[in-house]
Structure 1
């Protein structure tokens, strides 16, 4: 337990910091998570981080809580998961509780409104930065590029027509397309292997016949 204390403390403080300085929801947190746990602490590989994001988004609950629980459990087991989840929720709970005590006065302050306008710009940057980092981490093959193009086209089309579309459907559709591509690749590989076996057997038969004929001549 004593050996785990430094890692538990580091985990708690990291998520406390991320929870305190993340505005705009869980998607704005992705860039901070990637920088903290992949780039700085090296607790996760980039591929695992991308897989975790897909799982965290497609499972029930906020993505911030899901990612904190996953990373905490990976780093320090059940206790780590509990501490990370508590740390990421604590700042938001504290801030909202304090604001609720004088909510009307808080909203009437002009400089608060201007501050939040600036924060909104930062949120747009954080989400865009997270998207770019995730895209860079993708394996650049035909399937991933086609999926990205399709999702981007759907997103732009739905945004232009102001249609609300849950992000979970993007994940499910892309997951089904990925599985379809996998099974299609498996079938192609099997057919290719069968063709190679047939061609090898056809090439082998004449040689065997020629060998037996030469043996009889001797």
Structure 2
């Protein structure tokens, strides 16, 4: 029972302070992995890959995955509820107040001030994922080559993202074998 309470409150904190979408949860999840040892950095990379590949919000998918990894079905449910509770509460409060203050210059400035923080969280997450993916213990040549090939394909061919995810998964399976 204590595990579920801890899962809820850890993800409640992540949901409360994550501004900018699902990718902004990654630095918080990395910190959570260090603090709790519920999952490794490589698990975090795998969570991101699975969350990006499956329908739904990345942050919610990652919370569900972490909760399930830690506490089975109930853990996944509790972690997900913990993550979305702050958003629901904040939306309810803001929707009432925003009608009155949406033209207020302080409110407008506040929304502009949040943007750099969101970008910073996403950039930090990107660097963390690149470090773990390409340089886990030593240089991962296969991952670097795959990354370069996918970047070239994206820039030159402008192919469907679903095909990129599919082929990336196949190449990842082949490289792992």
Structure 1 length normalisation: TM-score? 0.70
Q: 1:181: how far off?
A: 4.8
How do 1:124-143 and structure 2 match up within 5 A?
124-138=119-133, 139=136, 140-143=139-142
Checking the alignment, whether the CA contact within 8 Å between 1:46 and 1:137 is kept in structure 2 is yes
For the pair shown, which has the larger CA radius of gyration, 1 or 2?
A: 1
Cα deviation, 1:114-151, whole Å, max 9, x if unaligned, reads 12222110111111111111111124322211122234
Instruction: Using CA pairs under 8 Å that are at least 6 residues apart, name the structure with larger relative contact order, 1 or 2.
Output: 2
Match of 2:42 in 1: 47
Q: 1:72: how far off?
A: 1.0
Match of 2:145 in 1: 146
Cα deviation, 1:140-175, whole Å, max 9, x if unaligned, reads 3222111222344566x49xxxx8x75x55433322
> Which of 117, 120, 123 is the aligned partner of 2:115?
120
In 2: Cα distance, 1:171 partner to 1:53 partner: 13
Secondary structure (helix, strand or coil) at the match of 1:108 reads: coil
How do 1:134-213 and structure 2 match up within 5 A?
134-138=129-133, 139=136, 140-153=139-152, 157=155, 166=161, 169-179=163-173, 181=175
How do 1:4-19 and structure 2 match up within 5 A?
5-19=1-15
Secondary structure (helix, strand or coil) at the match of 1:111 reads: helix
Structure 2 length normalisation: TM-score? 0.85
Checking the alignment, whether the CA contact within 8 Å between 1:54 and 1:171 is kept in structure 2 is no
Cα distance change, pair 103–154 in 1 and its aligned pair in 2 (3 A):
farther
Which consecutive unaligned segments of at least 5 residues does structure 1 have? 187-218
Q: 1:180: how far off?
A: 5.1
In 2: Cα distance, 1:175 partner to 1:73 partner: 22
In 2: Cα distance, 1:109 partner to 1:154 partner: 45
In 2: Cα distance, 1:35 partner to 1:132 partner: 14
Aligned Cα RMSD in Å? Answer: 2.4
Match of 1:60 in 2: 55
Cα distance change, pair 125–115 in 1 and its aligned pair in 2 (3 A):
same
In 2: Cα distance, 1:48 partner to 1:142 partner: 20
In 2: Cα distance, 1:123 partner to 1:173 partner: 30
Which consecutive unaligned segments of at least 5 residues does structure 2 have? none
